[in-house]
Amino acid sequence: MEDILRGSGLGWTPSPCRPPASRLAVRSPSPPAGSVVSLPQVGGIVLELRAHWREADQAMTSTVTIVARGVSLLFAGLFAGFLLAVLVLETSLREFDASVYTQVRQVELDRLDALASATLLPALAATVILVVAERRGGTGRRLLAAALVLLVAVLVITLAVNLPINSDQLDWDVQVPPADWADVRDRWHIAHSSRTAAAALAFACLGLAALTRRPVAGRRIDSDSVTSNVTTTN
């Protein structure tokens, strides 16, 4: 066959022999010496991961706490200021007769109830978040708990006394108010004075709790030091 191909002038050149397939198999390199992870190193890595997870959880909690603290202070302050302004107005109305009182009250109730809800409810919700998020005891947690109790008391007084009277006063005739209008006015005024004092105290407790707050620096666990300690112990 070789003579025929050479005689034909095709310039045949025999191909080099290929090595067996077994020689072409790529051998995986052996791991370098000292690359095997020891048990103390595994323990250190696990502790390091736990430390990172703890730090991330603390950072998330801190962010939620900061936002809730700002919301509670803002809306509790607005709510307390709003109640104080209404108290001043209601005290001034005590010098006027039934028709003037009824007319002013109906003007107040056109929008002020909505404003009260828009300020009290966010303050109450944010304070609940602060009490739940505050894991440490001490003065700060007690102040937050006191603020929450006071805001709940404000809500209870409003629902039990002020709102029912507000609903009745919307139906009063300005020209002919009911005969017991002064008694109703006094009951509303006493309840409003009580909830104004409670709201102001709640705002003060929130402010003091924010002042007593001190950040706690998280401790970071170093895997190398843990590994060296475990190795030394072993």
Domain containing 171 equals 49-212
Per cent of the chain over pLDDT 90 is 56
Is the pTM for the entire model greater than 0.75?
Answer: no
- Kindly tell me if the per-residue pLDDT of 73 is higher than 50: yes
Q: Quick check: is 208 in a domain?
A: yes
Helices (H), the chain: 2-7, 21-24, 39-93, 98-108, 112-133, 139-157, 163-169, 181-212, 223-233
Secondary structure class of 20 (helix, strand, coil): coil
Give the model's pLDDT for residue 128.
95
Distance between CA atoms of residues 184 and 191, nearest Å: 11
CA distance 198 to 193: 9
Domain count, the chain: 1
Task: Check pLDDT > 60 for residue 177.
Answer: yes
Mean pLDDT of 19-44: 54
Q: Does a structural domain hold residue 227?
A: no
More confident residue, 203 or 59: 203
Q: How far apart are CA 104 and CA 99, in angstroms?
A: 9
In a domain, 105, yes or no: yes
pLDDT for residue 113: 87
- Local confidence band at 34 (pLDDT 50, 70, 90 cut-offs): low
Q: Are 146 and 205 in contact (CB under 8 A)?
A: yes
| Average pLDDT for 150-174 | 96
Predicted local distance difference test score (pLDDT) of residue 19: 53
Q: Is residue 220 part of a domain?
A: no
According to the model, what pLDDT value does residue 32 have? 56
Rounded to 5°, the CA angle 89-81-171 comes to 45
- Residue 129 falls within a domain, yes or no? yes
Q: Please list, in sequence order, all residues whose beta carbon lies within 8 angstroms of the beta carbon of residue 137, skipping any fewer than 6 positions away.
A: none
Q: Does 87 map to a domain?
A: yes
Amino acid at 202: A
In a domain, 14, yes or no: no
Best-predicted range by mean pLDDT (93-97, 130-134, 135-139): 93-97
Q: Is the pLDDT of residue 70 over 60?
A: yes
Query: Residue 32: what residue type?
Result: P
Residue 90 lies in a domain: yes
Q: What is the pLDDT of residues 219-228, one digit of tens each?
A: 443 434 434 4
